[in-house]
Amino acid sequence: MKTNRDGFDEKGQSLLELSLSLVLLLIILAGIVDLGRAIFTKFAMKDAAEEGVVYGTSFPTDCDQINNRVEFNLSNRALNGGMTVVTLIEGNDGSFIDCSLIPFNQVYAGKRLKVTVTKTFTVTMPFLGAIIGQTIPLSVTANGIVLRPQPPAN
């Protein structure tokens, strides 16, 4: 049996150090996995919002279809559910108006279009959740310019 100069047994010291460091390393690894999932989710949301902008630049008043394009793009990545999609178009006064509320004659080429996707990402690793909270709010915005020509004046 190995003893130190004070006469105490050192037999379990290495095992104790290993167990403490292993727990710490597993917590760090779990955090990396969860944060990686959050980053993947944010990139997928950005891609979906850009898909909505691509459609919205040609058909800016078809709000339901813009939202459907975004949601369909997210469902292909198994991220459907819990998302909020907001489509805004620049009005004549420069403010942004919801796609479904803007007057048809204010939507023409050169107007800015914004598609915002938000989601509350749930952290699955309990130790990481105790440190940073159980949820992370994610939000992305994609911008574009409406391509539809201005309607003729009556």
Note the pLDDT tens digit of each residue in 107-150. 888 899 999 999 998 888 776 667 777 888 999 999 999 997 76
CB count in 10 Å sphere of residue 67? 22
CB-CB contact of 91 with 102 (8 Å): yes
Give the structural domain span for 121. 13-145
Q: Is 3 inside a domain boundary?
A: no
Average pLDDT (96-116) is: 91
pLDDT recorded at residue 4: 62
Chain centre to alpha carbon of residue 112? 22
Please give the model's pTM, rounded to 2 decimal places: 0.79
Q: Is 154 inside a domain boundary?
A: no
Note the pLDDT tens digit of each residue in 23-60. 888 888 888 888 898 899 999 999 999 999 999 999 99
How many domains, the chain? 1
Q: Is 4 inside a domain boundary?
A: no
